Structure 1
Amino acid sequence: MGFSDAAVLLERAIARGVMITCAESCTGGMVAAALTDLAGSSTMFDRGFVTYTNDAKIDLLGVSPETLDQFGAVSEQAAREMARGALAHSKADIAVSITGIAGPGGSEHKPEGRVCFALAKADQVKAHTVEFGPLGRGNVRLAARDHALTLLLDAVSN
């Protein structure tokens, strides 16, 4: 398993002059690593934020403590604020954010494998949740990374 269109993402982002940033929680930098594995990635990848704790989300991305109190870190609301914050604290045109429960564990209300994503551009932020299920920590993280990369590819292709 793996995102197989990384070269296409690089090519399209460069062709369109699009700069990318990411804000990651449960993936711990896997999206940034995948993007920077590509030669020439400095022309389309500005920076990445690994904000694993709530304090990091607040300090580095400007996520509201009220949002985290009311909805939790694993929520579309938090993902939206993470993506907006990544855009605001970078020179990027597009930001993707990922926050979820890779496992083990979870709860009845927030089960293992639930990952919230947001994609932000200057004029819009869209968020959604994917239920990957209890695939195991490593597999949830890989699936989340690949989903985020696919979101970026779709965003630079349209």
Structure 2
Amino acid sequence: MNKTFYIFRHGLSTKSLFGYGDKIVTAELLPEGKPPIKKMGKYLKNVSTDFCVRSEFIRCQQTSDIIAKATNKKFINDKRLNEYNDETFDNLRDRTKDFLENIEKSNYKDILICTHGAVIAALKNLILKNKFTIFQLYDYPKTGMLLIIKEGKIEEIDFN
């Protein structure tokens, strides 16, 4: 894949150490989750992208709206980037693979993605290793981090 991926997780949306519970679909960005995203937006303002995409979940919409305001980039929703929830691991892997196959066939070169932890783990491992196993499910960064994947290498920038 001769493409550059800029991948970030939605901003902080829970303080619980045990996940979202029944708010997994409806959790919104917390006020303290916004400053790192605003810093990321300033950085991304000078980054050229030709495709910006996000999960349909409200916390990703709120996060990418902050980025869009800082950069004038327009995001579209893609359900294949939604949170890993109420589905099998195989389904998560397959929908993420399908997303990447569509990107590979496209003319897009610089792709900006706002999504969730498990999806980031899938994207990262599928792009870099061409495989994703259940043991890699938690291989994702904390909120406020930007992953840049290009030419088989990964760079992480921390905006916290």
TM-score class, shorter-chain normalisation, is: 0.3 to 0.5
Larger RCO (CA within 8 A; separation ≥ 6): 2
TM-score (normalised: structure 1): 0.43
TM-score (normalised: structure 2): 0.42
